[in-house]
Amino acid sequence: MMSEMPIGVMMSAGWTLDQLRQVRDLGFDNVQIHAPYEDVLEDDSRRSALIQDIRSVRIQITTVFAGFSGESYADIPTVRDTVGYLNPSMREERMRITERISDFAGALDVGKVAAHIGFVPDDPDHPDHHAMVQCVRRLADYCGRNGQDFCLETGQETAAALDHFLKTLNRENVGVNFDPANMILYGSGEPIEALGIVANYVVSVHAKDGKGPPGEGQLGTEYPLGSGDVGMDRFIAKLKQIGYRGPITMEREIPDWDRKVRDLVQGRKLLESLM
């Protein structure tokens, strides 16, 4: 059984089995993983082989994150156009891929599938708002049949807008993967206050830090834990206050793996000191 608020690692897109083993050997016993790319999901033999390889590492996978070719986080307009399910020209295919990701997660006995669903219009009468409600309901229902929660990553909406969207969805197996840094990176609100607003939906969290956007339409910059504006001491204290007991998954979004490992090790020391 997992300990209370165990510290884990987010294995971002492009992770390798060697990296997964290294994370295990550093003493982490749980991770979230980015889903394999579509060519693996669609190939029965490659998918089965990957599942066996992941099982051989003997580390707990707590969440499988959906991601799609063509997504870009270059700036806010690009995110709006390319990320998640908002763009109608990509929606149906990405929903189909997410269902395959749910099946992949199910084969690994993972109970959570998560995604950046994309910007949801605040106006409930906007046609894209209605389309996103129907989209997420379908994905939640599919995940539900696999015994899973479908988790929405925070950041692209204010907490109040996300709370309204969640209530509109009316699905018991829809939760929130709360990333405090994303609230800052997208300029969507103060993260500790936001955590309180959506507290009842939080089923997993990222420990990530960052500073806000330099200008309109831009994204902020991620920083090592303790170097940004989240206030990790306040974040951990708020998690305890709302009764969260699940994993705290560190995410470091830089391409340099060796530097990432160093930052994760230092980040763990900071989190341990706060808990």
Query: What is the residue-averaged pLDDT of the chain?
Result: 96
User: Can you give the length of the chain in residues?
Assistant: 275
- What's the CATH number where 54 sits? 3.20.20.150
Question: Which residue reads 């156009």 in tokens?
Answer: 81
pLDDT for res 1:
56
**How much is the average pLDDT of 180-201?**
96
Say if residues 138 and 98 touch (Cβ distance below 8 Å): no
Residues 201-235: tens digit of each pLDDT: 999 999 999 999 999 999 999 999 999 999 999 99
Looking at the chain, which runs of residues are DSSP E strands? 7-11, 30-34, 60-65, 112-115, 149-153, 174-178, 202-207, 209-211, 221-223, 248-250
Separation of alpha carbons 199 and 27, rounded Å: 29
Residues 125-166: tens digit of each pLDDT: 999 999 999 999 999 999 999 999 999 999 889 999 999 999
Angle at the Cα of 116 from the Cα atoms of 220 and 171, rounded to 5 degrees = 135
**Residue 254 in 3-state DSSP?**
coil
Question: Which residue reads 């988790």 in tokens?
Answer: 151
Range of the domain at 126: 7-274
**How much is the average pLDDT of 169-194?**
96
Number of folded domains in the chain?
1
The answer to whether residue 108 is domain-embedded is yes
The answer to whether residue 2 is domain-embedded is no
The answer to whether residue 178 is domain-embedded is yes
